[in-house]
Structure 1
Amino acid sequence: MAESPTSSTEKKQYPLQDEKGVVDVEASPVYDDAGPVEFAEKAELRRGLQQRHIQMIALAGTIGTGLFLGSGKAITRGGPLGAFLGYLFVGFLVTAPVLSIAEMSALVPLSGGIIRHAEYFFDPALAFANGWNQVYSYMVSLPAEIVAAAVIVNFWNESVSNAVWIVIFGLLLVASNIYLVRVYGELEFSFALLKIMLVVGLNLMSLVLVCGGGPTGEVYGFKYWRDPGPFVQYLGIPGGLGQFAGFWTVFSNAVYAYSGTENISMAAAETQCPRRAIPMAAKRIFVRVLLFYVLSIFFVGMLVPSNDKNLLQSTGTAAQSPFVIAATGAGVKVVPHIINAVVLTSAWSAGNSGLLNGSRILYGLAREGRAPKIFKRVNRFGIPWVAVASLSLFVCLGFMSLSSGASTVFSWLQDLVSVAALVNWTIICIVYLRFFYAMKKQGIPRERLPWKAPLQPYAAWIGVFSFIILLLTGGYTTFIHGHWDNETFVSSYFNIPLIFLLYFIYKFAAKTKMVSLTDSPIMEFILIAERNPEPPAKPKKGLRKLNILWS
């Protein structure tokens, strides 16, 4: 086992992975100021993300406009009980890709997450297909988040053109990504704390209001569960079928809200001690999402009736938030401004995360020869600046929203991105199953892994079947007589032929083969992990023992 050098003059420069991705387990590790580097790219990228950054980034990716603004749509479609059950059910399902990606990333902590794992454990063609599918989704979602931030600012000031805010937020986005990844980590850490404090405050406010502690003194209890009822007759379909249809429609809202939970490994090569940090984030993320999301949906369903006309508005600001509607109805006036401020940081934070994740996917694709080599270039700060700069250009698409006609098209493109989360979750589970059964075929005990996820392979199998069903039924309303909608159909099913098209085009062009279970290079990666152990975690002292969020 290699020992850490005692000084910087003793650093060795023998990467364990060559340009073609061939692993040399006999090579000595590279060392830098952050410790041993098992892979060449980890010597190129600056490891500025610490344990607390990874923990809070994982949480920040799941709390945003999907909760503060989008939860109202779920209540109008599924009713308070339908929305609660929908978010709860998807919350259980999302643990499958999170646990799967965390186990593989603890063994192979490379930038790009599942894009890189598909290369080694499934088929290079799948790495290419999902990689470019994800890049495409970030190209569209980046300007969407910046436009959302600009619209939110209009809640306070409508005199300044959205173009000005798009430029300002876009430049801030580039600045936080192009210089130091540590800046990104601190920003996301701060934004996550704001979101957590807001959610906790809103839930406490909701509890007080439900029990009759508001200015009006009205006790809400479960009165909206009785009238207009726990479920909604969606699309006017009578009976239990209409209620089930509304409940099923909530899934699309919940999937969008939970999207991003799998990104804990996207910047693994820039994470200090990833074999400890990533699994810890995975183990805790479900409990946090359950507490923040499901509890919030439960409370807001008690405070706002599903037929409230304000829930049907689409202002893009805090005015459409069910929390604001509940607070306003109860006579609490300061809440809209607080929510709008945090939603603003959420929108910009989502763009910030998208730029980092998208640029790391591009960098990972370039490392594997599936994107132009220019995307491999890094600056002196260890940032893949060409990939960041290239994706940043797509922020300019946000100016399309300044025209009413183009804005309609832009909203249509934005809807396409939401399905990419389901496609990505499905692929993560499929690749993990190949990884799992390759270990079984080769007789490698799971105890040798840096971290073995619980509930496997059952969670991955459930995830694959459930996500495929949700994909195929995402646009079911278009098949109901009299409800055909071109936008809904295309946005619900465009990603399915796209991923297959990318896969087979590259497979036939590059003549790739699926990695057999016997040839999967799992043992090589295990040897790398065993020969380069991470330093033990520092023991908790004093008040740190009470920290359940990131320590």
Structure 2
Amino acid sequence: MGDGSAHVKRARVGPVHSGSMRDHLIHEVVATNTDCTHALYSHSKILVAALNGPVMGIAAAFLGNFDFIYAVPEAWLNVGFPFLGIAVEGGASVSFVNRMGIAKANEVLILNKKLSASEMLECGFINKIIPSKSTEEFHSAVHQHLVKELDGLVPDSIRAIKSLIKTGLNEKNNFDAVNLRESYAQAERFSSGIPAERFKQIAKKEIRHKLRSSALFSSYDLSNGNVIIMSSSHLSTIEHVEEKSYHAEDLQDPLEGTLHRGLKARHMSMIAIGGAVGTGLIMSSGTALVRGGPLGLCLGFLFVGLICFLTLAALGEMAAYLPHKRGLAGYATRFADPALGFALGWIYLFKYLVAPASQINSAGIVMQYWTVSVPIEVWTASYIILVVIMNLLGVRVFGEVEFWMSGLKIISLMGLIFLGIVIDLGGNPKHDRIGFRYWQHPNGPMGSYLASEVHNESLSIFLGFWSTLTTALFAYIGSELVAVTAGEAQNPRETIPRAVKATFLRIFVFYIGSVFAISLIVPSTSKELFVANSSHAGAAASPFIVGISLVGIKVLNHILNAMILLFTISSANSDLYIGSRTLYGLAVEGKAPSIFTKVDKRGLPWVAVLVVAIFTTLTFLNVKSSSATVFAYGVNLLSAFGAITWMTIAYSHIRFMQALKAQGISRNSLPYRAPCQPFGSCFAHPVSQHINSKLMRYLFAGFDTFFPFASGLFITSYLPIPLFFVFWIGYKIRFRTRLIPASKVDLITGKKEIDEEEERFVLLEKARRAKMSRWRRLADIL
């Protein structure tokens, strides 16, 4: 609205009677606020405010001096003065009354009521709500709107009319007098010491204020007549919590520079069904078949599958209630003990520092089925580069890649199960109806393991079955990917329950169906099966390939090997994703260096991705040891890490349910209720603990490292257990944490932001669908 700038007139608030630094500081703060207020209400040009998010404190008070105010639908206002124990400032005691009326002004200033954008529009405080997808788009829309409205108007006339309006208001309430009156009142409040005490309590986390401040002060561009108020868009409801129970970073997601919710519902659904299916099912099932026999293989996968589903259902209940960006460890921190969250976070991180390397090693094994002339490290390096690039392209690209890869995996698994049944029923080149032939002696129904070492047939059969539990555990781990992606999922309250329900389908159709098909067409005594730690280079990576080769089907074995290669790359891709987000979540909580919280404009935690990517070079261990031995190392480590993870998830859910009960919150009010609870978590926790406890691992899961003794296998079998206790006990000793009482567990912080974000998404989605054609809606559903 013309050239020039604001001329700030210093309105003094009287002499400083005390020579103390405290009184001088109070005087300067009050004088500065007085000067800013005077600069606004005395300005001759048209002042425009554009609210692209929440506004509070002095920035909210200043708004009353603007001529035109525009806002996005998500914007809201709250002054916060009575909570902080300070007086009204910025001329709000008069300007708010003028703009919204005495009744609404009393609610906002005295009762500290928060006004939404629609409420501000209804009471006349703002002029218009302008929906926009980004801050830049909003500012552009405001500018275009003003250009259109001011087109053809005479600037001098506009300024003259504004002057008359201000003069009339000034005659009613002398602005200089109001300004000074508020300034003296503010000085008196600060002199009382109450505001200082309130700020001190807030700083000590003894009191969390209902409207958590972030960027409260605004940037002003008075030279061109526009004033843009930039405020943080995430202000939270935080109830009273014990100082010893939590640190601030334990509860609140970062306000800026955070992950983006870029995973759509279709991404989540497909990832839930096929995202974690990888080498555990397709390759290690051969090891389980040899050791446990066909019946032992099916029973082992069925039993661990039940534990997996109960654990993931419990995790889904917590993730749907609070889909934060801290990963699994965040739930243990909040609902149980920060020390437990710290230990789980680092154990889970270690798991996914190892997992991508294990998957890439598996890809090398797959390639050796075709040729052993190319060194395996060449394949390893190629796949490392591919997986890292896919992760660096951002969450949207990751979602699309995993969507299509998971889709191909699902189609492949369904085809393999169907093919296995057809082969078994005689639909093969030999026209041999196999039936349950391989469930009979000498191939079944149960296998035997370490019979020559234990010299007891019954014990060797039991050991064979027990070894399938470790193999099955290795196959199922990674299923928690659904909850890890919660922090980047759109509409998580709807997509997470849907994804958890899809887990049931994945377990009881794909996993159980696949191992059953394998047990029908592959004899457990076949020398062509890939067995961890003992197979030669070039052995068939999957028992499915063995079954196809045994009945004389040509070419198809190569097609299946290519599919299995896809499985391994997809699993490595998702493992690297989980590892980077776990490291990011630890850094957000202050439990890892803050450098890992760095994200780019796409919300990609690129530092965390690169650091986790470095550990994929562990797969080059296959240069010195055989790839089968390195595969066995991976199975041992990941199985142990996985059991600890599941055990802690189940315990965190038990604590979550106890907190709900203690605080009078019904589980019926949750977005998703896990089935079979609370008994499911109470069952899954001790079972996971027993599978992975030191005694049980000594007797069972790690027993084969002694026959004969193998140092590498021994270390990888037992290392995760003492590592977990070192992290857990070390953190408790260092920070003196304790188990959080159920009545003191924080079930509130961060939930309000997610609720509001969910509401906005639903409204935008409805608006988007309303504009879609019937055919486009049908395609979207499909």
Fold match, TM over 0.5? yes
Determine which of 393, 397, 406 is the counterpart of 2:618.
397
Determine which of 514, 517, 537 is the counterpart of 2:742.
517
Cα offset, 1:166, TM superposition: 2.6
The structure whose Rg is larger is 2
More deviation, 145-154/321-330: 145-154
Cα offset, 1:529, TM superposition: 4.8
Work out the CA distance in 1 between the residues paired with 2:416 and 2:507.
Answer: 15
Q: Deviations over 1:316-372 (max 9, x none)?
A: 767142211111111112222122112112212122111111111111111111111
Q: 1:154 to 1:125 in 2, by over 3 A?
A: same
Determine which of 108, 132, 136 is the counterpart of 2:346.
132
Cα offset, 1:422, TM superposition: 0.5
Cα offset, 1:508, TM superposition: 1.1
Question: Which residue in 2 is equivalent to 1:292?
Answer: 510
Does the 8 Å CA contact 1:178/1:385 hold for their aligned counterparts? Answer: yes
Cα offset, 1:240, TM superposition: 4.1
Determine which of 295, 303, 308 is the counterpart of 2:521.
303
Work out the CA distance in 2 between the residues paired with 1:227 and 1:91.
Answer: 27
Does the 8 Å CA contact 2:276/2:574 hold for their aligned counterparts? Answer: no
More deviation, 354-363/517-526: 517-526
Aligned ranges 1:104-119 → 2 under 5 Å: 104-119=318-333
Cα offset, 1:248, TM superposition: 1.8
Question: Which residue in 2 is equivalent to 1:234?
Answer: 449
Determine which of 490, 508, 517 is the counterpart of 2:715.
490
Question: Which residue in 1 is equivalent to 2:687?
Answer: 466
1:249 aligns with 2:467: yes
Does the 8 Å CA contact 2:540/2:546 hold for their aligned counterparts? Answer: yes
Question: Which residue in 2 is equivalent to 1:180?
Answer: 394
Question: Which residue in 1 is equivalent to 2:559?
Answer: 338
Cα offset, 1:26, TM superposition: 4.4
1:194 aligns with 2:408: yes
1:144 aligns with 2:358: yes
Please give the secondary structure, in 1, of the residue aligned with 2:314.
Answer: helix
One-letter amino acid of the counterpart of residue 412, structure 1: Y
Q: Deviations over 1:499-537 (max 9, x none)?
A: 111011111112223222111111445555555544188
Unpaired runs of 5+ residues, structure 1, are 33-37
Work out the CA distance in 2 between the residues paired with 1:308 and 1:447.
Answer: 52
Q: 1:270 to 1:6 in 2, by over 3 A?
A: farther
Cα offset, 1:42, TM superposition: 7.9
Work out the CA distance in 2 between the residues paired with 1:211 and 1:22.
Answer: 70
Does the 8 Å CA contact 1:21/1:368 hold for their aligned counterparts? Answer: no
Does the 8 Å CA contact 2:323/2:754 hold for their aligned counterparts? Answer: no
Cα offset, 1:413, TM superposition: 6.0
Work out the CA distance in 1 between the residues paired with 2:539 and 2:331.
Answer: 40
Question: Which residue in 2 is equivalent to 1:501?
Answer: 726
Please give the secondary structure, in 1, of the residue aligned with 2:433.
Answer: coil
Unpaired runs of 5+ residues, structure 2, are 1-114, 119-128, 139-202, 214-230, 235-251
Work out the CA distance in 2 between the residues paired with 1:474 and 1:489.
Answer: 11
Work out the CA distance in 1 between the residues paired with 2:705 and 2:281.
Answer: 31
Work out the CA distance in 1 between the residues paired with 2:475 and 2:587.
Answer: 30
Work out the CA distance in 1 between the residues paired with 2:565 and 2:207.
Answer: 44
Work out the CA distance in 1 between the residues paired with 2:524 and 2:631.
Answer: 29
Question: Which residue in 1 is equivalent to 2:670?
Answer: 449
Work out the CA distance in 1 between the residues paired with 2:211 and 2:737.
Answer: 27
Q: Deviations over 1:168-227 (max 9, x none)?
A: 222222221123211111111111112111111111111111111211111111122223
Question: Which residue in 2 is equivalent to 1:7?
Answer: 131
Q: 1:427 to 1:212 in 2, by over 3 A?
A: same
Q: CA RMSD in A?
A: 3.4
Work out the CA distance in 1 between the residues paired with 2:627 and 2:418.
Answer: 41
Does the 8 Å CA contact 2:362/2:631 hold for their aligned counterparts? Answer: no
Question: Which residue in 2 is equivalent to 1:35?
Answer: none
Does the 8 Å CA contact 1:140/1:414 hold for their aligned counterparts? Answer: no
Q: Deviations over 1:276-308 (max 9, x none)?
A: 111111112122221011112112211122222
1:267 aligns with 2:391: no
Work out the CA distance in 1 between the residues paired with 2:438 and 2:206.
Answer: 58
Cα offset, 1:155, TM superposition: 2.9
Does the 8 Å CA contact 2:471/2:635 hold for their aligned counterparts? Answer: no
Work out the CA distance in 1 between the residues paired with 2:705 and 2:302.
Answer: 30
* Number of residue-to-residue matches in the alignment: 540
1:326 aligns with 2:326: no
Work out the CA distance in 2 between the residues paired with 1:111 and 1:157.
Answer: 43
Cα offset, 1:40, TM superposition: 3.9
One-letter amino acid of the counterpart of residue 511, structure 1: R
Q: 1:465 to 1:373 in 2, by over 3 A?
A: same
Determine which of 572, 576, 588 is the counterpart of 1:367.
588
Determine which of 644, 648, 659 is the counterpart of 1:423.
644
Does the 8 Å CA contact 1:318/1:337 hold for their aligned counterparts? Answer: no
Q: 1:325 to 1:411 in 2, by over 3 A?
A: closer
Work out the CA distance in 2 between the residues paired with 1:23 and 1:101.
Answer: 28
Question: Which residue in 2 is equivalent to 1:435?
Answer: 656
Q: Please report the TM-score for the alignment, with normalisation by the length of structure 2.
A: 0.63
Does the 8 Å CA contact 2:343/2:727 hold for their aligned counterparts? Answer: yes
Does the 8 Å CA contact 1:100/1:432 hold for their aligned counterparts? Answer: yes
Q: 1:479 to 1:290 in 2, by over 3 A?
A: closer
Work out the CA distance in 2 between the residues paired with 1:137 and 1:507.
Answer: 22
Q: Deviations over 1:34-79 (max 9, x none)?
A: xxxx954587222221111112222334321222221111111111
One-letter amino acid of the counterpart of residue 648, structure 2: I
More deviation, 261-270/38-47: 38-47
Q: Deviations over 1:77-106 (max 9, x none)?
A: 111111111111111111122011111111
Q: 1:347 to 1:406 in 2, by over 3 A?
A: closer
Q: 1:213 to 1:413 in 2, by over 3 A?
A: closer
Question: Which residue in 1 is equivalent to 2:271?
Answer: 57
More deviation, 4-13/175-184: 4-13
Q: 1:315 to 1:6 in 2, by over 3 A?
A: farther
Q: 1:55 to 1:356 in 2, by over 3 A?
A: same
Does the 8 Å CA contact 2:530/2:540 hold for their aligned counterparts? Answer: no
Work out the CA distance in 2 between the residues paired with 1:492 and 1:327.
Answer: 33
One-letter amino acid of the counterpart of residue 224, structure 1: Y
Work out the CA distance in 2 between the residues paired with 1:482 and 1:397.
Answer: 25
Question: Which residue in 2 is equivalent to 1:79?
Answer: 293
Q: 1:46 to 1:152 in 2, by over 3 A?
A: same
Q: Deviations over 1:4-59 (max 9, x none)?
A: 9742389699xxxx9x9997664699769xxxxx9545872222211111122223
Q: 1:284 to 1:544 in 2, by over 3 A?
A: farther
1:348 aligns with 2:573: no
Determine which of 607, 613, 621 is the counterpart of 1:386.
607
Please give the secondary structure, in 2, of the residue aligned with 1:400.
Answer: helix
Aligned ranges 1:6-25 → 2 under 5 Å: 6-8=130-132
Work out the CA distance in 1 between the residues paired with 2:561 and 2:630.
Answer: 26
Work out the CA distance in 2 between the residues paired with 1:359 and 1:425.
Answer: 19
Q: 1:179 to 1:325 in 2, by over 3 A?
A: closer
Work out the CA distance in 2 between the residues paired with 1:515 and 1:328.
Answer: 58
